[in-house]
Structure 1
């Protein structure tokens, strides 16, 4: 049959025969392509492997790990895969690579370009110890060894804690014979009320060095959203382990602005102070030292943005200060004008102003809204009606920069002096935070309370939420005192971002990435992933 014969001219049987012939031809072509590909891959892999082996022979590396790595490669090229006994450092390196990308690891291993341990070998090592909930003794042993080699000024650490949402499910662990997934795995019985004890979250404690490279998860606990009375003993147990067992010095505690965390800090109230921002560290053996409570700054900024986003006539907030309203419609109007006229005066997009549940959680979007660039455009083009909104945005932009310095050279790259490290007790940023910034909110609150003709409920709508205001006061006072204390005790500089919760958020992100498509692990999966992340 001619290839150009119209299909409409063929009978049903002729069409069936044509489809069968086409499928047969397609199978033959796929077989030929696969055979050619396999042959080319094997040739390239052999050539690269032989070239790599000869390069190792001619130019041995000087670095200790590189030398070990190439020695292992030489042994692996000479040995059969089943007879190879890998060095422990190569096992740890293989676990690290597989964690980064299991598919890429297997592709490199199968290509023959590099010799790497088999997946089953790595699995035997990662599962040799059955992980358990609670504080991890092996972590404290490692921290103790690390602390012995650190000078006194590098032993200061921040204690972080937060919860991660997990799947409420029970799993039978055949290795330990336990049912995993309850909030209290030691005591449980089968009854109708037991479902209320199945964990929905995992509480994690992490320690981060202020001026060192310490960054470790020290314990985790299945929970159903912890309460303040549950957090209190766990929190101080963590401090005791770090201070007494490991020889570290806990200077700050950072958490988000959740209600249990705020109640936890209020439990440390001694006198009549309106805001509790520090407590005496009873486990400090070298001197009388305080532990300072800090609310995570990115969470604070998001909360302030959320307060402003609700400010509108008839909304849950209707912010007012200095006889002017602070409204979300000001941000919306600026964004719509820019988008309609293609001005691009700011970074605002529809995603910034028309918030969804996912965009509400984005720190980046919140920071770009509450920025000095948005404030300058409001002042320059929209006149007095947006002046108070612009004033608040400028203060919040500087507040975030003052508490978000990440590196020694960031201020030079970004041309923002407020993100520079703190090196002096007389740093002008302390004056800004304690006086200009905090006093702005204090005067705002006083102006609202003095406004006649409104009930207290109506006045409350004119000010940010009091939980947010309390978090701002606590964070600023704790940060200033903690930073000054560290500078007085021989630290050459302090990076303000060391007090944030970013390492813990990154830790949770790694757990979700390990689950690939299943980014909501069970308690059982969380335990094994936590052990894998420690390798």
Structure 2
């Protein structure tokens, strides 16, 4: 990935960081770093928290003489820090996160908009074959919409009398978890076709595929059908439309 001023971000720096960490005995700079951070599966790709936990360790090891693979990782580290600050602003869910630094969060969001715009303008100056070293068109557009809409909502709510805004509540985590499950079930790289997605969606609508872990606080006996065909024939079909409405609800909830 190519950044302004010719700086380059390499995915291999994260892999080198993990490899060097695994070689260390005793205390580690990033004890939570795992292969899931570097090579996430289809479900883990929908988890943003795995993407923002490696900046400080990368800076630390880049200064170590015996870790030569990370000596040129300054751009990768700075790129990760920029995204980390942005995620912190977009994931605020507790009042103490923003109550006294709302202006700072707005400034970070506006700086991120300027950073994205400058980055895109720089990419447009490169030869066509080098322009692939950028975000996809869909990702860039979605990120820009998210940033602009978040700033507009925060400023509108604050001007309307709100003391602070928890931007994390604007998120779509439940939807992302659902798409993560769909991608995980799909296999084949986690990129289902439209027909495949509709099939999985229908399957998840009537079948519980999630089993609780051992010693969990909930019970579960494996996959259970939420709607059985036999139940549709056990009861007499209602005549009126109102009875039909209650009948359908009973079939789904019972």
Which bin holds the TM-score, normalised by the shorter protein?
A: 0.5 to 0.7
Task: From the two aligned structures, give the one with the greater strand fraction.
Answer: 1
Could you tell me how far apart the structure 2 residues matched to 1:520 and 1:376 are? 51
Q: Which has the larger radius of gyration?
A: 1
Contact 2:21 2:28 in 1 (8 A): yes
Could you tell me how far apart the structure 1 residues matched to 2:23 and 2:75 are? 25
1:430 correspondence with 2:106: yes
> Paired residue for 1:356, among 37, 41, 52?
41
Aligned to 2:214: none
Task: From the two aligned structures, give the one with the greater helix fraction.
Answer: 2
Aligned to 1:201: none
Change (3 A) 1:529 1:495: farther
Could you tell me how far apart the structure 1 residues matched to 2:106 and 2:250 are? 41
- How far the C-alpha of 1:361 sits from its partner, in A, is 3.4
- How far the C-alpha of 1:445 sits from its partner, in A, is 2.3
The within-5 A match list for 1:120-139 is: none
1:420 correspondence with 2:116: no
Change (3 A) 1:351 1:523: farther
- How far the C-alpha of 1:507 sits from its partner, in A, is 8.8
Could you tell me how far apart the structure 1 residues matched to 2:85 and 2:49 are? 15
Aligned to 1:392: 79
Taking structure 2 as the reference length, what is the TM-score of the superposition? 0.63
1:465 correspondence with 2:136: yes
Could you tell me how far apart the structure 1 residues matched to 2:33 and 2:169 are? 29
Could you tell me how far apart the structure 2 residues matched to 1:428 and 1:505 are? 28
Could you tell me how far apart the structure 2 residues matched to 1:486 and 1:335 are? 42
Aligned to 1:487: 158
Could you tell me how far apart the structure 2 residues matched to 1:530 and 1:374 are? 55
Change (3 A) 1:374 1:448: farther
Aligned to 1:115: none
Taking structure 1 as the reference length, what is the TM-score of the superposition? 0.32
Aligned to 1:116: none
The within-5 A match list for 1:269-284 is: none
SS at match of 2:131: helix
Contact 1:422 1:495 in 2 (8 A): no
Change (3 A) 1:469 1:387: same
Aligned to 2:196: none
- How far the C-alpha of 1:523 sits from its partner, in A, is 11
1:338 correspondence with 2:21: yes
Change (3 A) 1:375 1:333: closer
SS at match of 1:431: helix
Could you tell me how far apart the structure 1 residues matched to 2:92 and 2:251 are? 29
Aligned to 2:222: 517
SS at match of 1:438: helix
Change (3 A) 1:385 1:420: same
Could you tell me how far apart the structure 2 residues matched to 1:345 and 1:521 are? 47
Aligned to 1:501: 172
The within-5 A match list for 1:1-400 is: 319-321=1-3, 322-342=5-25, 343-346=27-30, 347-368=32-53, 371-377=54-60, 380-381=63-64, 385-400=72-87
Deviations 1:158-191 (A, max 9, x none): xxxxxxxxxxxxxxxxxxxxxxxxxxxxxxxxxx
Aligned Cα root-mean-square deviation (Å): 3.8
Contact 1:423 1:493 in 2 (8 A): no
Aligned to 2:243: none
